[in-house]
């Protein structure tokens, strides 16, 4: 793998952390401060969906063969989640450019869309890594999760007094993936047919 490709993958991960994690946190607290129900609901849904991204990081730490595939699925679902809801889209369209929270949210939605597409393109350049992450050509995809690994390892040792290893990360990732999948299936079968593409952000007590 050439240096340019390595730099491109590293940059893709850095941008992902900023736009998929950092900016949504800021927008969420901003929406609370502004008491904007539409943006707050959008970010609440986004964080539920984005759990798969953090699960994929655990699987990357555990060197699970299909971890990169799950990472790409997570970014795709995260992108869909911010465009999916008709009532939120209608609400955001009503704000003009001067309303900075709505404008920033719109820019952020387009940003994560392009980042997700770029991440997929970068992944497809190393297509074999989708199903076999442990090859030497895929090592570059495992490096960005190493910092996340050291953070979790320190927290795990501090709270539980135990060593957080790669097999433990893989087990926790697969277990979390199972729970996440069951939750997504439940939503698809029960809530989606009932609510459709409406988030009901304006109705108190409605999720």
DSSP assignment of 196-207, as one string?
TT---TTSTT--
Distance separating alpha carbons of residues 105 and 37, to the nearest angstrom: 13
In a domain, 49, yes or no: yes
In a domain, 206, yes or no: no
Please give the pLDDT value at position 205.
40
The confidence score (pLDDT) of residue 207 equals 41
Residue 66 lies in a domain: yes
Give a yes or no: residue 113 inside a domain. yes
For residue 204, is pLDDT > 80? no
Is residue 131 in a domain?
yes
Residue 98 lies in a domain: yes
Indicate the pLDDT class of residue 138, thresholds 50, 70 and 90.
Answer: confident
Count of C-beta atoms within a 10 Å radius of residue 188: 10
Range of the domain at 62: 3-195
Residue 161 pLDDT greater than 70, yes or no? no
Contact 169, 62 (CB under 8 A): yes
The reply to whether 71 falls in a domain is yes
* Residue 163: inside a domain: yes
What is the tally of structural domains in the chain? 1
């Amino acid at each position: 793998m050439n240096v340019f490709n390595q730099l491109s993958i590293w940059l893709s991960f850095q941008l992902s952390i900023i736009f998929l994690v950092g900016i949504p946190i800021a927008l969420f607290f901003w929406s609370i401060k502004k008491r904007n129900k539409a943006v707050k609901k959008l970010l609440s849904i986004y964080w539920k969906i984005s759990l798969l991204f953090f699960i994929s990081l655990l699987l990357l730490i555990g060197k699970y063969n299909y971890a990169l595939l799950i990472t790409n699925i997570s970014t795709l679902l995260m992108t869909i989640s911010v465009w999916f809801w008709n009532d939120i889209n209608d609400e955001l369209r009503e704000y003009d450019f001067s309303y900075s929270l709505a404008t920033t949210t719109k820019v952020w939605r387009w940003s994560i869309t392009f980042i997700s597409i770029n991440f997929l393109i970068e992944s497809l350049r190393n297509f074999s890594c989708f199903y076999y992450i442990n090859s030497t050509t895929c090592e570059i995809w495992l490096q960005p999760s190493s910092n996340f690994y050291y953070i979790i390892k320190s927290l795990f040792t501090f709270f539980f007094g135990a060593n957080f290893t790669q097999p433990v990360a893989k087990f926790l990732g697969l277990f979390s993936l199972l729970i996440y999948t069951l939750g997504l299936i439940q939503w698809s079968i029960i809530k989606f047919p009932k609510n459709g593409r409406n988030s009901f952000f304006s109705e108190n007590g409605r999720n």
